[in-house]
């Protein structure tokens, strides 16, 4: 079958992006600094604290927060056409440079990351899996929520409450320890929800860091029952350009279909997978040698979990029981924290 150019899969979307509304103005903000942010560091006195965080997480420098709030996507979203069961918006870019570069440097430097190991059992055989990338996660499913801080210094006192009773949750509700989305990621979540302007809401932020071209994620779909029917998954790329491959599940069953769709996601690009996409399509980020893959890539995905099982799953496979890694700007690598 002949190969078609990428543009043949797209038509212009009629949806338009909107700026984040003034409701975000109450979020704690940092003051502008004159120094370069190559190390991503923000003033310690502005760090956001919470008992569930392994260390305080810095607030965004104002140059990044302003870029996220008021930057208009470089193009309207494109949507794939003439593909069965696929509903995908593609922004090129969603966050323009230099904001995307600064945001990448900041998040890599300031977030706690994990290299999760877990055991998978298939029949009598147990296999130890080492996640081929660094991960971290924040949020909680819709049956719980974190109370609002009374002021910007009270983040460590935010309580996890039951969504129905508005009382503290039972101590045995979760085996894991859910943690609130830090302001440096929550601003992005709110901005994306406002830009989609279709009632979509998210309560989880998952962050993957691909340190080199050897880090990857195999073909899978985000079709877990704890995400509900036809979930919306927003996925933002920062840092190195990496190929994002998609193939219909009929391909896995051996049916004759076209070659996988390849999206070369660059820094600042975002895709939103909606509708029947997760039920019918698989996606992956394969290993890549050479090029810019070695300079590191961050992928931020926004999701909505509807039951406690989603919370348990996300923390098990994205935090786990292993050590905490932090970016060392001198050695240019993730190192185990003391």
pLDDT at 72: 64
Find where tokens 């995908």 sit: 88
103 is in an annotated binding site: no
Domain extent for 273? 34-322
| Cα 299 to Cα 271: distance, rounded to the nearest angstrom | 11
How do residues 78-89 score in pLDDT, each as one tens digit? 887 568 899 999
Q: For residue 110, is it within any domain? A: yes
34 is in an annotated binding site: no
pLDDT at 7: 44
Q: Is 12 left (phi over 0), alpha (psi -120 to 50) or beta?
A: beta
Average the pLDDT over each of 44-53, 97-106, 220-229, 266-275 and give the range with the smallest value.
44-53
Contact in structure between 305 and 227 (CB atoms under 8 Å): yes
Q: For residue 9, is it within any domain? A: no
Q: For residue 284, is it within any domain? A: yes
Average pLDDT over residues 135-145: 98
Q: For residue 172, is it within any domain? A: yes
CATH of the domain at 102: 2.60.120.590
At 230, is the pLDDT very low, low, confident or very high (cuts 50, 70, 90)? very high
pLDDT at 43: 47
303 is in an annotated binding site: yes
CA nearest 64: which of 194, 301, 212, 238?
A: 238
Q: What is the pTM of this model?
A: 0.85
Average pLDDT over residues 203-218: 97
Looking at the 3D structure of the chain, how many domains does it have?
Answer: 1
208 is in an annotated binding site: yes
pLDDT at 321: 87
Average pLDDT over the chain reads 85
Q: For residue 28, is it within any domain? A: no
CA nearest 318: which of 306, 301, 331?
A: 301
Average the pLDDT over each of 18-27, 220-229, 280-289, 314-323 and give the range with the smallest value.
18-27
297 is in an annotated binding site: yes
Selected residue with higher pLDDT from 221 and 28? 221
| Cα 329 to Cα 314: distance, rounded to the nearest angstrom | 28
How do residues 18-41 score in pLDDT, each as one tens digit? 444 433 333 333 333 334 444 444
Q: For residue 328, is it within any domain? A: no
220 is in an annotated binding site: yes
Residue 221 predicted with pLDDT over 60: yes
Q: For residue 336, is it within any domain? A: no
85 is in an annotated binding site: no
pLDDT at 319: 97
Residue 233 predicted with pLDDT over 90: yes
141 is in an annotated binding site: no
């Amino acid at each position: 079958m002949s190969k078609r150019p990428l543009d043949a899969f797209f038509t212009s979307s009629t949806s338009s992006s909107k700026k984040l509304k003034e409701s975000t103005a109450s979020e704690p903000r940092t003051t502008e600094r004159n120094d370069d942010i190559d190390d991503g560091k923000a003033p310690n006195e502005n760090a956001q604290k919470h008992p569930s965080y392994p260390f305080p997480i810095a607030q965004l420098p104002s140059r990044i927060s302003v870029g996220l709030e008021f930057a208009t996507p470089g193009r309207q979203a494109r949507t794939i056409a003439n593909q069965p069961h696929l509903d995908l918006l593609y922004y090129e870019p969603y966050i323009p440079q230099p904001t995307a570069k600064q945001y990448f440097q900041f998040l890599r430097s300031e977030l706690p990351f994990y290299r999760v190991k877990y055991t998978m059992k298939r029949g009598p055989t147990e296999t130890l899996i080492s996640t081929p990338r660094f991960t971290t996660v924040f949020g909680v499913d819709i049956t719980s929520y974190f109370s609002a801080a009374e002021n910007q210094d009270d983040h460590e006192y935010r309580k996890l409450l039951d969504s129905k009773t508005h009382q503290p949750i039972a101590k045995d509700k979760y085996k894991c320890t859910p943690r609130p989305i830090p302001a440096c990621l929550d601003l992005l979540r709110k901005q994306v929800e406002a830009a989609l302007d279709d009632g979509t809401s998210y309560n989880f932020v998952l962050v993957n860091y691909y340190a080199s071209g050897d880090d990857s994620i195999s073909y899978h779909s985000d079709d877990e029952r704890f995400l509900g029917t036809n979930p919306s998954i927003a996925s933002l790329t920062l840092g190195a350009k990496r190929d994002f491959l998609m193939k219909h599940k009929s391909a896995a069953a051996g049916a004759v279909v076209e070659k996988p769709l390849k999206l070369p996601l660059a820094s600042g690009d975002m895709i939103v997978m909606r509708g029947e996409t997760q039920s019918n399509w698989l996606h992956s980020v394969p290993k890549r040698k050479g090029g810019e893959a070695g300079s590191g890539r961050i992928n931020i995905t926004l999701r909505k979990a509807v039951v406690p099982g989603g919370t348990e799953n996300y923390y098990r496979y994205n935090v786990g029981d292993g050590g905490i890694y932090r970016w060392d700007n001198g050695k240019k690598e993730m190192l185990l924290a003391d």
